[in-house]
Chain A
């Protein structure tokens, strides 16, 4: 029965690959596969199987409590998103890529060792590239996909390094590298290897989870179809980083520094990206920034040792965020806009989407009694350091602010700001398949926090819950009141103006200019060095090589000019002189007897003179 566990990632990956090649009946095949995968996931969550095989090394899959929550979440959200997508998209390529994407995530969250985890992790990254750049004839979308992939891969390098360090650590400790990659043994490796492993894993996880300073790629990830955003922002990709940190929490704690770094990264992200989210004018960008902040609470949970709280936050957030993105996607398809001002009245025009989106937004705000209120406090309750707590709590309040901003925008009546078709021509309808998953996810957004109230081991106090709930509700009301009459009339223009604006407003609207910074500080210097290296290679290295035959030719010429032509010249001179002498000698031979006679006479006189003088 255990071998069945391999099917959990293998089924969607295989079916996805088949769809990419066969391209028939993609939608029904994809949804059927997703249903079967969810069945397998539920089975795995109950039976807790374990399977091993020798791939590159001894690798294995296993489902424990954390993985059980993950596999059900991933498979469930995937099914909801694929049903939604079946109403919007038709191409087999899309469904094939999505299934492989899901399968890779399932592999990542069930792997028991770094190698298998890394494999799922990287394949997931590659699929995110293919899905973000799904409309590949649009160069700008491809550029977004490239930026997203290269950024996350920059983080992934840490995981490669961690694997190497794990191997070295095991060799140093026991002299035997077998089993070195098992996630469970990493915290037992000797220093400094343990610290190197932790450093690598932390970088990789922060990159994948779009925490500061990697956050900008998530803004770029919006270029794909809406279902991609719904999946990428909830149960896969960004969730993988948080999952990994929760998984290796003992390692983080063992190093003494990594846990603190992680906790601060999460809290700072929650605060900064919360401010970014508040400054957005585009619904999908607002939701994207909010993903960073909500993941920040999971990362914080891993840092402060609140693993169950972090996991609960991950599960509840997956439902909330996929719901919100599907709602935004439904409006984008129907109304052709995702601009917050342009969306005025959207909720009233499509009430089912509006109501479910409203529930999701309230949950995101942390309003009681919805899920994220409980799960976020389950993490916050474990924070012992006052400053850290303050930063994270401020982030949570910003969460209430941006959620309220989105909520108010879509629930306002249609007004002068409403603009349809700013992005693309809308269809003016939300089909059955698009509507089907929304109530289910909304239910999840309501109830998924409840496990926090059951059982022990949760760092929760009634006072904290009451305080955070009241404050969140107050912030929502305040935002609603404050923004009741103030909206920019021309939506698209305003965004561009805000991003271009210098000062804090532009900084926040432009995602802290993190992308600009990465381009200016990393990409430009890299391409400059590359250009320099190419020049060096052509001119200096190859120049030296080409100089060798040139030198040879020069030597040859040298040999010709003074030497070869010198000797040759001497030979020619002799020959020439002989020739000239010959010509000279021919001249007297004219064939005329009187001249011969004269010559003979002259010769005789000369002979006589010589004879006389010589004597």
Chain B
């Protein structure tokens, strides 16, 4: 079933050239994405703990690599979030979709779900690299502004990081006895590998996440990407980095992770504060949202770092659970934010904060909810994630880091209210006249993300009950 979930979009993408030109492509895309999401929901309903829906096939037995996929409480929420995000992107693009565009996104969907399901390092790496290729074409083909340059920067920067990642994976392979790329085997028997391997893997994942100071590919890529591309880039592709930390770096290099936990915590806190501060100074709305991603990813890195401290298990589990919740929450809220901002470009071809103001009511309402969600108001998913992170980090003994992280939510509040004040409320700006209110398909794409965020914010148990065993397992593995 998992294999169908992974490859259904790819098969659909391959069949797309067969269907006639025109509106059909958009509806096929929506249909396939909806079917894939339905399958994921069914998988969630039938999941019974441990590694579910596992498939293990021979692929390259000579190097100990195989086609090995499965889901657990760490990957299943991300797969579900991915499937939902691709579906809303399909809905958002209805009417403007070309066959090539739909095929490219379907390809990206297979790659993304495949990455979160992969239980083999080489398979993970293949999907990791293909995601870069897919996103490169999205930006080059359908972006705007200085898109070739931004796409090239994105490609070169993240391709470089995948090379570092590959080096790290080879280090893990060589350190394992017997040599293998299988994640489950590597997790059961952590390889004898040192700080250099963690450095290689860490650099690889940190660029993708991105953490300060290797984040500067993100703002131009976002600014020049189409709205749906930005939503996928921020919502899904960034999570590949943080997911990699939790799935690969922590369980396979527990000792080194614990040794360098403080370094990771400092990087996380720096990301939180630096990302928020730089975002505060932006005049371009899309760049601003991009920098809030740096801030939000900082919370995840901070929490995962705290999990490596020698502290009560309960606190560290809470931190990891908060980090995973944050991955899901950020996907929903930032996805919604980018789709909302995309409406501005669609109508007025500008992201300049100072050129807007006094916006139409529904658009403003959606932006207000998404902004308050992103700044962590209770009742939306961001609070659930960040509260767990703060409490877990402080409980793990990193009191000052936790306190500094908390300061981050004040700066985030200030910057989002500044955006609301200048770009959405108050008197109309020079471009406001061009901005018509949200169209039905746009509302149908954005509203589900916010509603799901609201559900998680009010009644998070159904999600946390899935995540908590996984975070307990990660903490258990990293404590070895």
Question: What is the minimal beta-carbon distance from A436 to any residue of chain B, in angstroms?
Answer: 31
Q: Cβ of A188 < 8 Å from any Cβ of B? A: no
B residues with CB within 8 A of A: 153, 156-157, 212-213, 215-217, 274, 277-278, 280-282, 312, 314-315, 318, 357-358, 364, 368, 372, 377-379, 383-384, 387-388, 390-395, 397, 399, 402-403, 406-407, 409-411, 413-414, 417-418, 420-421, 425-427, 458-461, 464
Task: Decide yes or no whether A531 CB sits under 8 A from chain B.
Answer: yes
A541 proximal to B (CB < 8 A): yes
Supposing A139-B426, A157-B410 touch, asked if A119 and B278 sit within 8 A by C-beta, the answer is no
- Nearest A residue to B415 by beta-carbon distance? A530
Cβ-defined contact, A146 with B418, below 8 A: yes
| Pair B421/A56 contact, Cβ less than 8 Å | no
Partner of A176, one of B314, B379, B417, B460: B314
Specify the chain B residue showing the minimal Cβ separation from A169.
Answer: B395
Nearest-Cβ distance from residue B398 to partner chain A, whole angstroms: 10
Given the complex of chains A and B, what is the CA–CA distance between A171 and B395 in angstroms?
Answer: 7
Q: Which residues of B contact A171 (CB under 8 A)?
A: 312, 314-315, 395
The residue from A139, A149, A530 contacting B425, defined by CB atoms under 8 A apart: A139
Q: Is the CB of B460 within 8 A of A534?
A: no
Q: Which residue of B lies closest to A20 (CB)?
A: B365
A142, B314: Cβ atoms closer than 8 Å: no
The answer to whether B281 touches A530, judged by C-beta atoms less than 8 angstroms apart, is yes
Instruction: Pick from A55, A530, A541 the residue with the most CB of B within 10 Å.
Output: A530
The 10 listed contacts between A and B (C-beta, < 8 Å) are: A119-B379, A136-B425, A137-B426, A139-B426, A157-B406, A160-B406, A165-B394, A168-B315, A177-B395, A537-B216
Q: Give the Cβ gap from A97 to chain B, nearest Cβ, in Å.
A: 11
A168 partner, pick from B378, B383, B399, B406, beta carbons under 8 A = B399
B396 to chain A: closest residue by CB? A168
Chain A interface SS verdict (over half): helix
A contact set with B: CB distance below 8 Å? 54-56, 115, 118-120, 122-123, 126, 129-130, 133, 136-139, 142-143, 146, 149-150, 153-154, 157, 160-161, 163-165, 167-168, 171, 175-177, 196, 526-527, 529-531, 533-534, 537, 541-542, 545, 549
**Which residues in A have their C-beta under 8 angstroms from that of B315?**
167-168, 171, 177
Q: Which residues of A contact B418 (CB under 8 A)?
A: 146
With A139-B425, A530-B280 known to touch, is A163 a contact of B410 (CB < 8 Å)?
Answer: no
A160 / chain B contacts, CB cutoff of 8 Å? 387, 390, 406, 409
In the complex, chain B residues whose CB is within 8 Å of the CB of A56: 384, 387-388, 460, 464
The answer to whether B410 touches A122 (Cβ under 8 A) is: no
Partner of A146, one of B383, B393, B394, B421: B421
Contacts A130-B368, A149-B417 given; 6 further ones with Cβ under 8 A? Answer: A129-B417, A142-B426, A163-B387, A165-B394, A167-B318, A534-B281
**Closest A residue to B314 using CB positions:** A177
Contacts of A138 in B (CB 8 A): 426
Q: How far does the alpha carbon of A120 sit from the alpha carbon of B383 in the complex, in Å?
A: 12
A122 and B377 in contact, given A136-B426, A175-B312, A533-B274 (Cβ under 8 angstroms): yes
- Provide the bound-state CA to CA distance between A90 and B25, in Å: 46
Find out whether the CB atom of A119 lies under 8 angstroms from the CB atom of B378. yes
Residue from B277, B409, B460 in contact with A530 in the complex, judged by beta carbons closer than 8 Å? B277
Give Cα A251 to B199, complex, Å. 46
Q: How far is the CA of A537 from the CA of B274 in the complex (A)?
A: 9
Q: Are B216 and A545 in contact (CB under 8 A)?
A: yes
B390 contacts which chain A residues (CB < 8 A)? 160-161, 163-164
| Contact call A115/B387, Cβ cutoff below 8 A | yes
Q: How far is the CA of A123 from the CA of B369 in the complex (A)?
A: 12
**Would A177 and B312 count as touching, CB distance under 8 A?**
yes
6 nearest CB pairs, A to B = A164-B394, A139-B426, A119-B378, A534-B281, A542-B216, A530-B280
B193, chain A: closest CB distance, angstroms:
28
Nearest CB on B from A330, distance (A): 28
Cβ–Cβ contact B383 & A122, under 8 A: yes
Closest approach, in angstroms, between the C-beta of A452 and any C-beta of chain B?
A: 36
